[in-house]
Amino acid sequence: MPTRTTIAALAAAALLLAPAATHGQTSTTTTGTTVKGTVFAKRLAERLTTTFRITATSVKCNTTVRYAPGSISRCKARFATGDATTIRVRFTSTKGGFVAAPLGLLLRDIEYRIAEDLVTKQGAIADFTCPFRRAVKAGDRFPCYGTEAAGDGTTSDTGRQGYIYDVTQLGSGRVTFTLRA
């Protein structure tokens, strides 16, 4: 039968091994670390802004996120361009290392970049439209259509030049595009 001293020693040892409380933000287990979704969402927003060079204006994740190698989480992100997509996050360590990949292309950003390219190449200003939704898939190709902006502010298409850019996905949300001749 254990003595009172043995029970007290076991209880003290258990307290030393228990995770420290950190205001409800994190807890460590043998399978990883659990963090509030809002804490992780802030980190993810910073990474997305750096990666895509477009400000991530809103990122929302689950209530809690578990940092464990191989663990997968999905978050919703909205960007300054108006693009919105789901981000798939795969954790690589218990310390919060992760790899993030968008599940949908940032099409408003592509339209903006194509319009800038047209100004550079031909000095023309056009409004472009790419497909409404497009999954991220390396090797996928699709056209984006543009119509030269009317100089007089009218909406009439009479006499306006049309442009087509062919967009090719490279993977991880990266693309190349070329103006059709």
pLDDT at 132: 83
178: its two tokens: 């070329």
Q: Is the pLDDT of residue 1 over 90?
A: no
CB 72 within 8 A of CB 89: yes
pLDDT at position 156 is 52
Name the band, by pLDDT with cuts 50, 70 and 90, for residue 161.
confident
Q: Please tell me the distance from the alpha carbon of residue 37 to that of residue 98, in angstroms, as a whole number.
A: 14
Degrees to nearest 5, angle at CA 22 with 9 and 47: 135
Instruction: Give the per-residue pLDDT at 17.
Output: 29
DSSP 23: T
- Residue 168's pLDDT band (cuts 50, 70, 90): very high
Q: For 17-34, what is the mean pLDDT?
A: 48
Q: CA 164, CA 131: separation in Å to the nearest integer?
A: 13
What percentage of residues in the chain have a pLDDT greater than 70? 77
Question: Which pTM was predicted?
Answer: 0.70
- Which pLDDT band, with edges at 50, 70 and 90, does 149 fall under? confident
Question: Scanning the structure block, which residue is given the tokens 């287990």?
Answer: 29
